[in-house]
Amino acid sequence: MEAAQMRRVIMAGIVGDAFGVPVEFKTRDSYHVSSMLADGTWEQPSGSWSDDTAMTLALMENLTSDGNYNDLFEKFQDFMMTGAYMAQHETFDIGQTCVHAIRNWAINHVTPTECGDASEFANGNGALMRLAPLALVLADETNQARRLQLTRDYTTLTHRHPRAILGSVLYLEIMHAMLNGQAISAAVANLTTNLKPALTPDVLAEWPYYAACLTPTFGQTSRDDIKASGYVVDTFEAALWSVTQARSLKAAIVLAANLGGDTDTVATITASLAAVRFPNDPVPWEDELMQPTYLASIIDPFVTKFSRTK
C-alpha cells in the first residue's frame, strides 16, 4: 500500500473520532455538527480525540516495533492509568469492557488473547474502534486464514464474544477488498462467497446478526432504521450505511457524526472506510487536530515501515 494513502486512512480515522467527540451520546437531530467543535459532551478543546484514537495509536506503535500482545497491553495500561496516547495526557473516557480486559492482564495475569470478556453482554465496539492499522498492515496479505486469525486475536485482547470477532472480521475484510481495488458494493456482496466458508463455527453462528446490512439493498435503508449505539452490530451498520450513502469523505464523516449515539466511534470507522472509498478526497479538518507533531511521531514511523512505493 502506498505511503500517502496509508497516512490518509489513519488521519481520516482520527478526524472522525475528534469530530464525533463533542456530540457523543446526543440524541439524533437534537443537534447538527458540520465543523470541528470544542466543549460539548466531554468539555475538551476542539480537535481532541478519544479512546478510539488512543488505542489505535497504541496499536500502531506496537505494530511498528514488532511488539507482542503483552507489549500492547502495557500500552493500553499506560493509556488507562496515565493518559498516554491522549492529546492532553488525560483519559476522559474508556469502555468498561476494555477496563475489564486491561485489569485481567495487569492484575490477574491472564493470557493476552483470553483477557477479553466472552459474555454476550460485552459486545461493544471497543475492538472495532482501534483496528484500522491492522487492516492497513494486512492490505497486501493474500493469505485469508492468516488475516482472519490475526483479526480474531487482536479483537480477543478486549472482546472475546464471537459477535465482536465477526464485527472486526467484516470490517477488516471489507477494508481488505477495497484496498485491493473492489468497490464497496462488491466488497460487501462478495463476503457471502469469499468469507462465510472460511469462518470458524462459533463466528459463523453470529452471521445472522449482521446479515441485514450485508444485503445489496442495505444502502437504501431509511436513516430512521439505522441505530448508532455502542453495540458492535449497530456501530458497524451505522458506519457501513454512512459510507454507502455519502458521496465524499467529508460528507461521510458529517453524516456519521449526526446519527447521534456513539458518534465518535461510528465516525472514526466511517472515516477509515470512506478514506479508502474516496481515495482522491483530502482529509477534511486534518489541520485542526490537536498535537500534530505528536501524532506524526507515531504515524510516520508506522507508514514508513508498512507502506510500499508503487
Measure the CA–CA gap between 90 and 78, rounded to whole angstroms. 11
200 touches 238 (CB < 8 A): no
DSSP 120-140: GGG-BSTTGGG-HHHHHHTTT
For residue 217, the 8-state DSSP code is: T
262 belongs to the binding site for Mg ion (CB under 5 A): no
Among candidate residues 256, 170, 181, 252, the one with its CA nearest the CA of residue 213: 170
Query: Which of 2/93 has CB closer to Mg ion?
Result: 93
Query: Which of 50/104 has CB closer to Mg ion?
Result: 50
What is the smallest separation between the CB atom of 213 and Mg ion, expressed in angstroms? 22
50 belongs to the binding site for Mg ion (CB under 5 A): yes
What is the smallest separation between the CB atom of 180 and Mg ion, expressed in angstroms? 29
What is the smallest separation between the CB atom of 198 and Mg ion, expressed in angstroms? 31
264 belongs to the binding site for Mg ion (CB under 5 A): yes
Measure the CA–CA gap between 217 and 19, rounded to whole angstroms. 28
Cell of 51: 479512546
173 belongs to the binding site for Mg ion (CB under 5 A): no
Which residues are bridge partners to 124 per DSSP? Answer: 231
What is the smallest separation between the CB atom of 93 and Mg ion, expressed in angstroms? 5
19 touches 96 (CB < 8 A): no
Query: Which of 229/307 has CB closer to Mg ion?
Result: 229
What is the smallest separation between the CB atom of 91 and Mg ion, expressed in angstroms? 10
52 belongs to the binding site for Mg ion (CB under 5 A): yes
How many residues form the binding site for Mg ion (CB under 5 A)? 4
Among 51, 117, 173, 206, binds Mg ion (CB under 5 A): 51
For residue 26, the 8-state DSSP code is: P
Residues that bind Mg ion (CB under 5 A): 50-52, 264
